[in-house]
Chains A and B, each alone.
Chain A
Amino acid sequence: MATQLADPEARSTNAPEAVVVRFAGDSGDGMQLTGGQFTLSSALAGNDFATFPDFPAEIRAPQGTLFGVSAFQINFGSTSIDTAGDAPDVLVAMNPAALKTNVGALKPGGLIIADTGEFTKRNLEKAKYEVNPLEDGSLSKWQVLAFDISALTLESVKPFGLGNKEALRCKNMWTLGLSLWMFDRDRQPLIDWLNAKFAKNKVLADANIAALNAGHAYGETAELGGHVKKLHLGPVPTPAGLYRTVTGADAVALGLVAGAQLAHLPMFFGGYPITPASSILHALVRLKEFNVTTFQAEDEIAAICAAIGASYAGQLGVTSSSGPGIALKTEAMGLAVMTELPLVIVNSQRGGPSTGLPTKTEQSDLYQAVYGRNGDTPIPVISARSPGDAFDCAIEACRIAVQYMTPVILLTDGYIANAAEPWKVPDPADYAEFPVSFLAEKNAGDTLLPYKRDAKGARPWIKPGTPGLMHRIGGIEKQVDTGHLDYSPANHQAMTDARKAKVDGIARSIPAQDVCLGTEGGKLAVVGWGSTYGPIHQAVGRARNKGLDVSHIHVRHIWPLPENLGDLLRGYDRVLVPEMNTGQFKTVLRDQFLVDAKPLTKTSGQPFTIAEIEAAIEEALA
């Protein structure tokens, strides 16, 4: 979603205010790049937008195959956009496989742009087409615009003397040029970007620019069968300020840097490559001047253990992964709870179980985050609702970690990590600092008590290297105050209670739960968390436009939950919880508040569509 909080209830009924375009091609065709640049041009045109990159787990899947199709969807327009859109209005299909796997989603009457140059006998066979769908009338419920993009691209880059393979790589720029024409977009930012990208290879820069211009000119001059009209989507009204695009992974990285700065701490990031979390490591490794140390460890376990080691030594330890990697880190998370050291653990969730769907999104690690450890091991959990929101959530995770001396889990997901949205650039001065102070001298007269708690229940942070404060910590149960080994029954009871009370008490430091759309109390509350924000918000807005008594509540603090949430939920006749799992948050709400929360679940690896949630709202209120 959009940083701009235009009320979905206020949207006008004049269409089209938003258009959904899906670029689909071979995973080597540069579809993610095309989509990304189109996104940028949307931003520069002042449109609000949301994107959904959907790519295969294979890096270079065999060319032309169905499983090798990579797609990028963008929803953009002159109205507030919360989701990447349900069904595309336009499908750009670079080969038969891309057409086959994506055409089903296209709106009836929507436009297909296809490259006939790729609809060869061999490619049709690979896509399991017996006859050419461009010729057999099977696409009649859509408009089809098929022409030889490959040949036109080759023609346009001829003067540059590229090899055939290299020349064909410019196809995506040709297509982008045509798309820019269709939506009346300025080419100059793309030309600047290509010049910068290929600064060391002027020929490639010029060839790509020529392809871009040729695609644009084709729209301008060719007879496009009357199908394609130039569409101009005006800018969306937004709060004044400086904007940029941001993905969730970038926002998490920036938020962690900001959080460490607000805590006045150097940051240590331990990571191990895993999709879709690696981008956070990639972003942080370039921010060394912010006193960030990144460590690519030998495995997930070493990544978190090194981060805990760094926290022990006085830095803000951070680790990041996705579900399977988080599972490996679990034992170390228990140690961080036992030794009461600050730590931020970011989980970019993906489809599970096991390896599951590495590149697809899901919210199915909620149980793992809230309950998934041996022993009574409470860890606060925060979830980001959108790419931009991930920035604030990362700062909040850092704050809780250092103020309460505890590991904190930040949940995002594959969708948030990869998706981009316009983001009003925050001013660091708007965020309250939470500077850390380390214990410098004994805290009980002549005695050091490493586990003496403050009013919040937090123990002091003591850095090795501090004279006179030598002490030992570890995973064995600690004696109250002294931190010595103590297995005695009364002590374990007291320490278990203290750890629980500390984490429960975090609820007092978080904002009360608000209703983000609708009313406090009523017939139906739709309660969401994480990346379902967009579709829920739109669906609730549309239902309210129809006069339905429904409200949207979106929860950031999953554990502990806001103190007023139970009472708030009890003010509605019904509670519906849409989530991309089999009903995990629903269970937590029932467990904590004994409310009759009903699930709306989806585990297809794809985000909810607005229509799916709208239908569930109507059913719940029928």
Chain B
Amino acid sequence: MNAITPITTSIKDWETDQEVRWCPGCGDYAILKAVQRTLPELGADPANTVFVSGIGCSSRFPYYVESYGFHTIHGRAPAFATGIKLANPALDVWLVTGDGDGMSIGGNHTMHVLRRNLDCQILLFNNEIYGLTKGQYSPTSREGTTSPSTPLGSVDRPASPCAFALGAGARFIARGFDVSKHLPEVLKAAYHHKGAAFVEIFQNCIVYNKDRFEDFAAPKGAEDRQLWLANGEPMLFAKGEKGIALDTEKLTLKVVDVVDGDWQAAGVIVHDVTNRSIAHMLVEMPFGPFPMALGVLYDDPRPTFEAAVMAEREKASAGKEPNLAKLLAKGQTWTVTEGGPDL
């Protein structure tokens, strides 16, 4: 995000006249609405906002947001975003990618944009499948996923986007899912983080991977399966009857029962978004034995890449006159007069 003067817009101001071409029922619709609903609340300016995307279903996103938009090439959106932000740091840059675009063909760029800490919001729509190419398994597909390219089931282990992001040096990690009512809160937190903000959004591919996330996203029983993290609050779920505590012997997390609301007695951890050690445990916390960790897992800003680049340029330019004629004549020169050199 940038320190801008908030302007007043409505959700309508962020809708384009283009027909949305996702499959009916696709989770992308819900994410689009969440973003369009959030932007006015942030006071964002359409003229100052750029959505940059790669290739895939998710990457059609910019066409549907009334702002500046750049639909680039497969996996490379972070590199384009870097050029845009270095050229004009005042722009608000949102990067939209998917599990194939951001974790497979573009994994390298995802790593480096996070490591450099470019100020932008990275929304990785994870549907655990290649949708636009008709359903092949993706780098986040679970082991055994059957697909046109893995008719006997996939044999490779899936990547974990949030663990990858943290390993790459990300300073903001959050999770949400398409139809979650909390998604706008997550997006706002990402926007307010100065630096690269990585948000994994589980997204239902209605055609090729239908209801893949129902095990934790289904409304029924959601409170038992979702752990919504809030800074300064104890890590409680199941209506406060369970919590996450630290197993100090194994140095792992564990689920504990909370009796009569006395979470302190049960050793439940208070979420500190700046605690990187806990963040490592949260991104690795397996769903099943544990609930799905959602919300802001980690948020500890550091100076941004573009600020460092600009500061360096200013420092290096200080007191130097950009005189082209002098530059061209720099170094050892000699003058030739009519009839020969003057030594």
Contact = CB atoms under 8 A, between A and B. Distances in A.
Contacts of A471: 68-69
A207 B320 CA distance: 35
Given A301-B76, A313-B91, A465-B47, A307 B83 contact: yes
Nearest to B115: A298
B48 interface: yes
Contact of A306 (B67, B73, B82, B322): B82
Contacts of A476: 71
A472 B70 contact: yes
Interface in A288-306: 288-291, 293, 295, 297-299, 301-303, 305-306
Q: What bracket does the count of chain A residues touching chain B fall in?
A: 35 or more
Interface string B296-321: 00000000000001001100110011
A298 B109 contact: yes
A305 B79 contact: yes
Given A238-B336, A293-B86, A312-B84, A474 B325 contact: no
Contact of B79 (A43, A243, A302, A428): A302
Contacts of A242: 329, 333-336
A308 B78 CA distance: 12
Contact of A301 (B68, B79, B320): B79
B336 A241 contact: yes
A46 B341 CA distance: 5
A98 to B, nearest CB: 28
Contacts of A301: 76, 79
A192 B282 CA distance: 63
Contacts of A44: 332, 334, 341, 343
B16 interface: yes
A20 B111 CA distance: 51
B81 interface: yes
B88 A261 contact: no
A470 B47 CA distance: 6
Contacts of A258: 324, 328
B340 A46 contact: yes
A289 B320 contact: yes
A239 interface: yes
B108 interface: yes
B87 A309 contact: yes
Given A46-B334, A288-B313, A295 B86 contact: yes
A139 interface: no
Interface string B73-110: 11010111111111110110000000000000000110
B274 interface: no
A155 interface: no
A240 B83 CA distance: 43
A621 interface: no
Nearest to B65: A472
Residue of A40, A309, A317 with most partner-chain B CB within 10 A: A309
A473 interface: yes
Contacts of A331: 73-74
A322 B111 CA distance: 25
B66 interface: yes
Contact of B322 (A189, A289, A310): A289
A473 B70 contact: yes
A583 to B, nearest CB: 33
Nearest to A241: B336
A335 B72 contact: yes
A288 B47 contact: no
Interface string A37-59: 00010011110000000000000
A251 to B, nearest CB: 10
Most buried by B among A239, A289, A332: A289
Nearest to A476: B71
Contact of B83 (A186, A244, A312, A467): A312
Interface in A245-273: 245, 254, 257-258, 261, 266, 268, 270
A501 interface: no
B82 A302 contact: yes
Contacts of A293: 86-87, 309, 313
A109 interface: no
B269 to A, nearest CB: 36
B18 interface: yes
A463 interface: yes
Nearest to A253: B327
Nearest to A341: B70
B331 interface: yes
B202 interface: no
B63 interface: yes
B249 interface: no
A309 B317 contact: no
A240 B80 contact: no
Contacts of A308: 72, 80, 83
A332 B343 contact: no
B50 interface: yes
A475 B69 CA distance: 12
A334 B76 CA distance: 14
Contact of A287 (B76, B327, B329, B335): B327
Contacts of A257: 324, 327
Contacts of B322: 289-291
A485 B60 CA distance: 11
A235 interface: yes
Identify the 4 closest CB pairs spanning chains A and B, nearest first: A309-B83, A474-B71, A46-B341, A306-B83
7 contacts: A46-B343, A186-B343, A309-B80, A310-B86, A474-B69, A474-B72, A485-B18
Interface of A: 40, 43-46, 186, 189, 193, 235, 237-245, 254, 257-258, 261, 266, 268, 270, 287-291, 293, 295, 297-299, 301-303, 305-315, 317, 331-332, 334-335, 339, 425-429, 463-476, 484-485
